Structure formats: C-alpha cells, structure tokens
Amino acid sequence: MSSGTGTFQGGIHPYDGKDLSKDLPTLTVMPKGDLVYPMAQQHLGAPSKPIVAVGDKVLMGQRIAEATGFISAHICCSVSGTVKAIEPRMTPSSAMVESIIIENDGQYTPAPGVGEKRDYTKMTKEEIRAAVKDAGVVGMGGAGFPTHVKITPKDDSKIDFIIANCAECEPYLTSDYRMLLEEPDRLIGGLKVIVSLFPNAEGIIAIEDNKPDAIAFIQEKVKDEPKVRVQVLKTKYPQGSERQLIYACTGRKINSSMLPADAGCIVDNCDTVISIYRAVCESTPLMRRVVTVTGDAVKKPRNLIVRTGTLYSELLEYAEGFKDGVDPEKILSGGPMMGIALTSLDVPVTKISSALLCMEKDMVAANPSTHCIRCGRCVSACPSRLVPQKMYECSSRGDDDGFVKLNGMECFECGACTYVCPAKLRLTQSFKQTRQSVAAARRKAAAEAQAKKAEEEAKAKAAEEAKKGGNKQ
C-alpha cells in the first residue's frame, strides 16, 4: 500500500487571514426573510425539478425539488412555511436561475421522520446510499458533485481510502476548523459510515499543520478507531485540491480524465462528511452549512451555521455590518483564491457557499497587468506542473490546440500562477476562457459524431428494410 508525503510539488503561501475568525465558535442564524432555493448552481449536473406548487404548505426537511438525471441532486426545504413563488432569482454567480421561494412560518415544523435516529450498522449499503441521495447531499467544498454518485463506484472492493478533506487551504476560511473542534463525533461518525460501504477502505482525516490543536484533538478522538487515522498535511495552497490531496495522503496520482475512484480513493469535504452522518444516522437532509463571514471590511467576523436559502444580506447583519466608514470594493462568495465576486448581497446561501468575504480594497483593480518578464514563478507555483507562461501565450493568441498540447486542460484554475505573477497578468482568467472554448468544441465534436453515427445507422436500417421489402415483393 502506497503512502503519502503530506505535501506536493508547487503551491503558494498567501496571507491566510484565518486569525480574524478561527477562534470564534459558530452561531446559528435564524432566517428572517423568505428563503430562496435555486434549482441549479448548488450542485453539479442536471438542474433539479420543483415538485411543489405555489401556495403549497411545506415542512422542514421536506423534498421540494427532485434530481433529474444520474448526476443531479434533490433539494430539501430548510424551514417550514408556504411556497410563495417559483421564478428566476439571482444566484451568487449573478445568473438568473429558476428558484423556489419559501415564506418562513417561523415554526420549523419537521417533516415526518426527520430527525429519527438510525443505526448505520443495521442498514444495508443500498439503504445508506439511498439515505445520502434522499438527503440531497453534494460536495460542500465548492464543486457540488452529488455525493451519492461519488460513494457508488463501479467496484466497492477497489476503494482503499476515504479521505475527509479538512485541509481548508483557501485563505480566510475557518469553517472546517470550527467543525473539527465542534463536531468531531459527527465527522468521525460520517467517515465511519462511508468506510463501512467499502470492505478494504481506510478512513483518513486530512488536516493542514497550521491547525495543530485540531490535529491533536482529532488524533485523540480516533486513537481507538482501527479504520480511521489523521494525515497531517503541509500548509500550502492548494493542498485541499482533490488531486493534490490524494497525492499528499496516498502517493497516488490522477489527472483530469480520471476520477478519484480510479486511484482507489473517495474524497469528501469536512462539512459533507458531517452531512452524510446527519443524513444516515439522524434522518436529516442537507439543509444547513457552515459559512465564514469575514474580511477586513466587516465589523465582527463570524462562523455561522446557516440554513440553505438564507440571503447573504442576513448573514452580514450577524457580523454587525461593515466597519464604520468602510465601503467594501469587492465581496466574494467563497475564499479569495477561487471564490466568486458578488454583484449583490441579495443572493441565497447554497449548498456550496463556504464564506462571505468582504474586502475593503480590490487588489486586482489596483494592479494593472504589465508585460510578462519570463521570471518563471508561475512554473514553480503550478501544482499541476504546467507551464502557465507558455499556456498564456497560446490562450492570448487564441491558439486552443497549442494550449491543449501544453496540457492546459489539466489546469484546475486554482489561481496560484496569477497570485505569484509579478507582471500581474490575469493568467487564470485567460485559461478559464480557453478551457471553456476547448470544452465547448469537444462537446460540439462529440455531438456531431453522435449525430453522424445515428444518421448512418438510420440509413443502414432503411436500406435493410428496403431490401427486406424488396425480397417480399
């Protein structure tokens, strides 16, 4: 069995900003206004379909929208109340997405069965997987990949490692750290639930070494668990990226065309593992998550437990608003390396919202791009061992083929190259566009190939039928 080194080649050490909020215990937010549940952009794959109608009464934990494909997820209501509208609303990415709007009755009446305790050791694997699917659990680290798909690989016996990703390498975020300290039993319990699905699997809780107290605390908690261990990781961005994390924990490598299961691994974010525990052992669907509200522009940084669907503007009230006289230039959903810039605070917290980061100054606008001086820092920083300098030359002249030849599709847009660039070039932005254009071209080519194949098959069938018909006559 291979073992990891706890680190990877490349990466950067940006200012981590975690001191602002890391010692603050979580507070639970009680939503005041209506709750908004977008049908897309809170999980990867096909959008969900509403199964309630305007005027319907709904209970807390009740499913209000259904998965519509293999890769899709259910959505459950996080309060009790009435369906007020089903209409397009703005999401954190500033897109208008069909959403269910619920008027909160303030009663939090649970749906039948929600909260019932269950013993996972007495459940079959199918029941466990169904519980995860019914709860609408998705990857809460940001990608939103449906968890029931992730824990259903082709061959259960080939899974060797279940990794709970508690690296939290993204600056400013402290929600995983708070969960390690506040919810260790649910985290370890959730990990044990997943491990129980795979006969040869070992559970790993991966934590960066900038959280020594959490490491010691969890190590003490798992010392009698035969199938769970703690992997200490070197503090470095992007240590929590799936491919780098698998390498750091196991020494195995995957590329963009592979799934973690191809390397015998399943990786789930900290809060996701906790949600799995709630789903399986407490019959509680995914309807809450931890959100760090922080940044140099907020008065009181906070770690908040938030019901999904709550608007960001309400979270800000818990942080007592902006500092006096401060008007933030940029507000992000998520961390500074991979987060999304918001255009409005009237957007809902989704399953994949990890933070609300309010920045007094926008560094990007303050640093205009100049010319590349070929310093090579991007090459040293790239965790995928790419050559951003040359990829940028390709992407800026629209040379998609050259970009692909340089393995540009292996880029996962972590932003490390852009962070270190002394010429302040927008490398990641440029790669994002080229990667989208390449992916679109590939989809088009695949669709054309399929259409051609279908056409040929139809022709062959028609010819055969004509032949048969001819024979009859």
Partner 1 sequence: MSKLLHVSTSPHVLSKDSTHSIMLDVVLALIPAAAWGVYMFGYRAAIILALSMISAVACEYIWQKCMHLPITVNDYSALVTGLLLGMNLPSTVPYWLPVVGSAFAIIIVKQLFGGIGQNFMNPALAGRCFLLIAFAGLMTNFPSVDAVSTATPLAVLKNGGTQSLSDMFFGFTSGTIGEVSALLLLAGGIYLLVKKVITWEIPVIYIGVFAVFMILFGGHGFDVNYVLCEICGGGLMLGAFFMATDYVSSPITFKGRVVFAVCLGLLTGLIRVFSKSAEGVSYAIIFCNLLVPLIEKVTLPKAFGREGK
Footprint of partner 1 on residues 330-389 (CB under 8 A)? Answer: 330-332, 334, 336-345, 359, 362-365, 367, 370-376, 379-380, 383-387, 389
Q: How far is the CB of 366 from partner 1 (least distance, A)?
A: 9
Which residue in the set 422, 442, 461, 467 belongs to the binding site for partner 1 (CB under 8 A)? Answer: 422
Stretch that binds partner 1, among 129-137, 212-220, 254-262, 434-442 (CB under 8 A): 254-262
Check whether 169 is labelled as a binding-site residue.
no
Query: Residue 70 forms beta bridges with which residues?
Result: none
Q: What gap in Å lies between CA 132 and CA 390, rounded to an integer?
A: 44
**Rg of the chain in Å (alpha carbons):** 24
C-beta of residue 362 within 8 angstroms of C-beta of residue 332: no
* Distance between first and last Cα of the chain: 69
Q: What gap in Å lies between CA 354 and CA 176, rounded to an integer?
A: 9
Task: Specify the residue for token string 């590349």.
Answer: 372
Running DSSP on this structure, what letter comes out for residue 78? S
Q: How far is the CB of 85 from partner 1 (least distance, A)?
A: 26
Q: Is 317 in the site for partner 1 (CB under 8 A)?
A: no
* Closer to partner 1 by Cβ: residue 5 or 429: 429
Check whether 375 is labelled as a binding-site residue.
yes
Which tokens in the block code for residue 378? 């991007």
Q: What gap in Å lies between CA 409 and CA 77, rounded to an integer?
A: 37
Q: How far is the CB of 46 from partner 1 (least distance, A)?
A: 25
Stretch that binds partner 1, among 219-227, 255-263, 447-455, 457-465 (CB under 8 A): 255-263
C-beta of residue 33 within 8 angstroms of C-beta of residue 257: no
Q: Cα 442 to the chain's mean position, in Å?
A: 24
Check whether 358 is labelled as a binding-site residue.
no
Q: How far is the CB of 430 from partner 1 (least distance, A)?
A: 10
CB atoms within 10 A of CB 202: 17
Check whether 382 is labelled as a binding-site residue.
yes
* Closer to partner 1 by Cβ: residue 105 or 346: 346
Which residue in the set 305, 400, 413, 437 belongs to the binding site for partner 1 (CB under 8 A)? Answer: 413
Stretch that binds partner 1, among 82-90, 96-104, 208-216, 404-412 (CB under 8 A): 404-412
Q: Collapsing DSSP states into helix, strand and coil, what is residue 130?
A: helix
Q: Cα 382 to the chain's mean position, in Å?
A: 21
Q: What gap in Å lies between CA 306 and CA 355, rounded to an integer?
A: 11
Q: How far is the CB of 468 from partner 1 (least distance, A)?
A: 48
Which residue in the set 130, 232, 432, 437 belongs to the binding site for partner 1 (CB under 8 A)? Answer: 432
Task: Specify the residue for token string 């503007």.
Answer: 313
Stretch that binds partner 1, among 70-78, 223-231, 405-413, 446-454 (CB under 8 A): 405-413
C-beta of residue 239 within 8 angstroms of C-beta of residue 167: yes
Q: Cα 287 to the chain's mean position, in Å?
A: 15
Task: Specify the residue for token string 């070039």.
Answer: 425
C-beta of residue 350 within 8 angstroms of C-beta of residue 41: yes
Q: Is 243 in the site for partner 1 (CB under 8 A)?
A: yes
Which tokens in the block code for residue 421? 């660039």
Site residues (CB under 8 A) for partner 1, limited to 274-303: none
Check whether 249 is labelled as a binding-site residue.
no
Q: How far is the CB of 287 from partner 1 (least distance, A)?
A: 27
Stretch that binds partner 1, among 186-194, 198-206, 282-290, 413-421 (CB under 8 A): 413-421
Which residue in the set 5, 256, 436, 450 belongs to the binding site for partner 1 (CB under 8 A)? Answer: 256
Q: How far is the CB of 256 from partner 1 (least distance, A)?
A: 8
Q: Is 438 in the site for partner 1 (CB under 8 A)?
A: no
* Closer to partner 1 by Cβ: residue 104 or 395: 395
Stretch that binds partner 1, among 11-19, 109-117, 227-235, 449-457 (CB under 8 A): 11-19
For partner 1 (CB under 8 A), the number of binding residues is: 71
Q: Is 94 in the site for partner 1 (CB under 8 A)?
A: yes
Site residues (CB under 8 A) for partner 1, limited to 22-81: none
Stretch that binds partner 1, among 182-190, 240-248, 280-288, 455-463 (CB under 8 A): 240-248
CB atoms within 10 A of CB 314: 20
Q: How far is the CB of 356 from partner 1 (least distance, A)?
A: 13
Distances in Å between the Cα of 26 and the Cα atoms of 68, 305, 410 are 34, 6, 37
Q: What gap in Å lies between CA 248 and CA 8, rounded to an integer?
A: 6
Q: Cα 376 to the chain's mean position, in Å?
A: 31
* Closer to partner 1 by Cβ: residue 227 or 432: 432
Name, in order, each residue with C-beta under 8 angstroms of 76's C-beta and a sequence gap of 6 or more: 61, 62, 63, 64, 135, 136, 285, 286, 287
Task: Specify the residue for token string 């107290």.
Answer: 213
Q: Which residues are annotated as a binding site?
A: 372, 375, 378, 382, 411, 414, 417, 421
- Binding annotation for [4Fe-4S] cluster: 372, 375, 378, 382, 411, 414, 417, 421
